Amino acid sequence: MEVIVLHFNDPQSMPGTGESPAERLAQSCQLSGTQAEAYLARRRVPLAVAEAAGLRYDADFGGRPALLAALRDRSGEVVSLHGRYLQVVRGENKMLTFGAGGGIVQMLGGWQAEPLILVEGLFDALSLAVCGWPCVATVGRWAPWLQEVCSGRTVWLAFDAGRAGDAYAARYAQRLGSSRVLRMLPPHHCKDWNTALVKRGSGHFSRWVRDSLSGGEQG
């Protein structure tokens, strides 16, 4: 089975500038009128949804334009900053995350809402939010306090389809031993939730999530 790492050795500060996540975020721009707006549209995420989630734009995030999302701790403080590059060529990283770690990205109430849905990627979370579903994006990392806030609750692990997603879910299930953990897969022939939104549309997407949560037949 593929090894899934839940801890990354992210740089503590912004490479090249030494800024903290909060400092870098404070210098970012609103999304409207930037390259990020067109990028979001291609991935079927309305600008209003991204803005409500607190996403920002940085024209020079380590040399390239990026969509920014703050990872916050349990109290809501910014502990890390995640950048999704808008332009990627062969050999370049798709993302850059830096900071102390221990944070997550929340949509529509996140871990404080019901149902409690965990996804991996930023665009998985945005896709669920487009259809009105609250969720938490781990961005491939582990926030130790999740174990406590998930304790005694039903937690839906909505990670990618395939071996890597299954292995990632298994690792999370181990760490959430005091929770009732259930797996929720994207629709058939869709590796992840944003692919499902783009290929199937919001109507099918919403029905799939609703049926999955109620134990209905997926199809």
Average pLDDT, the chain: 94
- Domain limits at 137? 104-213
**95, 29: one domain:** yes
Q: Are residues 94 and 111 in the same domain?
A: no
Residues 184 and 85 in one domain: no
Show which of 77, 102, 127 is a domain's final residue. Answer: 102
Cα separation of 155 and 114, whole Å?
9
Return the CATH number at 68.
3.90.980.10
Same domain, 76 and 118: no
Ranges of H-type helices in the chain: 21-26, 35-42, 47-52, 122-130, 146-150, 163-175, 193-214
What is the arithmetic mean of pLDDT over 8-33? 96
Same domain, 82 and 170: no
pLDDT at 118: 99
Q: What is the pLDDT at residue 9?
A: 85
- CATH for 133: 3.40.1360.10
**pTM for this model (two decimals):** 0.93
Task: Assess whether 63 and 147 both reside in one domain.
Answer: no
- Which residue, 102, 132, 151, sits at the end of a domain? 102
Task: Say if residue 187 is in the same domain as residue 118.
Answer: yes
How many other C-beta atoms can be found within 10 angstroms of the C-beta atom of residue 135? Answer: 28
Asked if the structure places residue 141 within a domain, the reply is: yes
Kindly state the percentage of the chain with pLDDT values over 70. Answer: 95
β-pair type (78-85, 66-72): antiparallel
Burial class (CB in 10 A: 0-12, 13-18, 19+), 89: exposed
pLDDT in tens, 36-49: 999 999 999 999 99
Per-residue confidence (pLDDT) for residue 114, from 0 to 100: 97
Question: What Rg, from alpha-carbon coordinates, does the chain have?
Answer: 17
**How many domains does the chain divide into?**
2
pLDDT in tens, 114-133: 999 999 999 999 999 999 99
pLDDT band at 90 (very low <50, low <70, confident <90, very high): confident
- What is the mean predicted confidence (pLDDT) over 29-33? 98
* pLDDT for position 34: 98
Domain boundary among 86, 102, 118: 102
Helix axes 193-214, 122-130, angle to 10 degrees: 60
